[in-house]
Amino acid sequence: MPFASPVPARRRWPLALAASLSLCAAHAQAGDLRNFISDLYGGDGITLDRFGQFPHDAHFTEASLVALNGLGDGIASGLGALAFNSTVSSFIFDVQQGIPVRNTESLGPLVAERANTIGEGRVNLGVSYTRARFTKFEGDDLDSLSVRLPHIDANDDGIIGPPPDVFAFEFDEVQVDIDAEVRQQILSFYASYGIRSNWDVGVIVPIVETKVEARAVATIIDNGGGDAFHRFGEFGDAATDSTGGTATGLGDIVVRTKYAFEKSGGGAPEMAVVGQVTMPTGDEDDLLGTGDWAGMGMFVASRKYGSITPHVNVGYEHSSNSDRSNLRYLVGFDAQPGGSKDFTAAVDLLGRYYPNESDERDHLIDVAIGAKWNAFGTAPLSANVILPLNDDEGLRAKVIWSVGIDYTF
């Protein structure tokens, strides 16, 4: 893995982080992965064989260019929405005391936010690894996408109908069957610092690897033309083609803050607000980032009842690309089986609704299931999976899994 870098000693952690950032950036490959679909057949649309007195080589070029561009843009715009793990850990580093201390009785949720903060003068550092293989786009399997390309109006008379009103060969079509593959790996470094007892600031620095491939087979559909007016051959594109590549580098950096309100008595939950800014530091053309600025505000509420802590998150993210602006919500709980202070399980319902999308208003709903285990005293391990509850909208993976560790020193 290009992400791996040795950490020989605790005090060398900042150097190891810097080295890994440089190493990953050096492995970024040139090229525009964003265009991996539209780059099929030379990137200029499908050109058929040129032959005869009245050649038909360009009769599907414009339609194919529009269709492949649209499909590729749709897939590319679906990347960049992976959720980062919560940066709230049970163990933090107290700068004033100079020792690791337990912050809460529970190890906390994995994907959602709790209302509690880490405390004044305290530091939380961590790293997480996320992996996703996307399998569906708008309900269609990525490995069996298909587009049908209509023939141009050859004599530009605007007439569509049966012969003799139009040339019979205008009913021919080209079908392009595409087997696409999209994978992402994300290594995220994160840090939080308590400015006050109820106010945290933090940053998330992701290193992203994106791999895309597309294999296409085009077939001419004779819908009554009779004579072989259209064919693949020596002076045009071949019927089969493939594209793809891999890029690794810095993703979109996230700067965030959380402010917890004063605790109220009685049965009222703890409440907080979270502010977050996502900077377009990742290369959009290589699918390492979105290319857009985004700001999010979120309301957080949680309360502990015995060994169970339910939590609710509701927020809105505004993006410089209005199609990416979304309403998001998380509802769930984390629990300590048997009252354990060293093991916590969590379940969350996650939703993202995109009200401004130009074609369809996607509403993505997932469930996250995971656990945290305090195996090393002051470095809890975490693991979780995100599963889609609806896979007929947007770019979707069968499962997105993550592992992480909060490291204190």
- DSSP letter string, 21-70: HHHHHHTPPPS-GGGTTTTGGGGS-------SSS--TTTTHHHHHHHHHH
- How many domains, in total, are found in the chain? 1
Cα separation, 247 vs 242, whole angstroms: 17
Residue type, 243: T
245, part of any domain? yes
Instruction: Name the nearest CA neighbour of 152 among 62, 231, 238.
Output: 62
State the average pLDDT over residues 183-199: 91
pLDDT band at residue 67 under the 50/70/90 scheme? confident
- pLDDT at 385 (0 to 100): 92
Cα separation, 41 vs 34, whole angstroms: 16
State the average pLDDT over residues 330-350: 90
Helix locations, 83-187, DSSP H: none
Kindly report which listed range (12-26, 131-145, 227-241, 338-352) carries the lowest average pLDDT score.
Answer: 12-26
**CA dihedral (392, 397, 398, 399) positive or negative:** negative
1, part of any domain? no
140, part of any domain? yes
Cα separation, 319 vs 296, whole angstroms: 9
127, part of any domain? yes
Domain carrying residue 340: 10-407
Kindly report which listed range (79-93, 311-325, 338-352) carries the lowest average pLDDT score.
Answer: 79-93
pLDDT in tens, 95-122: 444 444 434 444 555 678 888 888 888 8
Count helices and strands in the chain by DSSP H and E runs: 2, 17
Residue 225 DSSP label: -
**CA dihedral (115, 119, 123, 124) positive or negative:** negative
72, part of any domain? yes
- pLDDT at 249 (0 to 100): 95
- pLDDT at 185 (0 to 100): 93
pLDDT band at residue 82 under the 50/70/90 scheme? low
| Rounded percentage of the chain residues whose pLDDT exceeds 70 | 72
Cα separation, 157 vs 164, whole angstroms: 13
pLDDT band at residue 152 under the 50/70/90 scheme? low
Instruction: Name the nearest CA neighbour of 198 among 256, 260, 257.
Output: 260
pLDDT in tens, 15-33: 343 334 434 443 434 458 9
- pLDDT at 408 (0 to 100): 54
Instruction: Name the nearest CA neighbour of 68 among 33, 34, 39, 31.
Output: 39
pLDDT of 88 higher than 50:
no
Whole-number average pLDDT of the chain:
79
Residues 6+ away with beta carbon under 8 Å from 155? 167
Return the CATH number at 110: 2.40.160.40
2, part of any domain? no
- pLDDT at 45 (0 to 100): 81
Radius of gyration (Cα) for the chain, nearest Å?
26
353, part of any domain? yes
Residue 101 vs residue 35, higher pLDDT: 35
In this prediction the pTM is 0.82
For tokens 């009554």, name the residue.
224
289 token code pair: 């980032």
State the average pLDDT over residues 381-387: 91
4, part of any domain? no
State the average pLDDT over residues 302-321: 93
Instruction: Transcribe 320-331 into DSSP letters.
Output: SSGGG-EEEEEE
Q: How many other β-carbons are positioned within 10 Å of the β-carbon of residue 262?
A: 7
Q: Note whether 34 and 243 are within 8 A (CB).
A: no
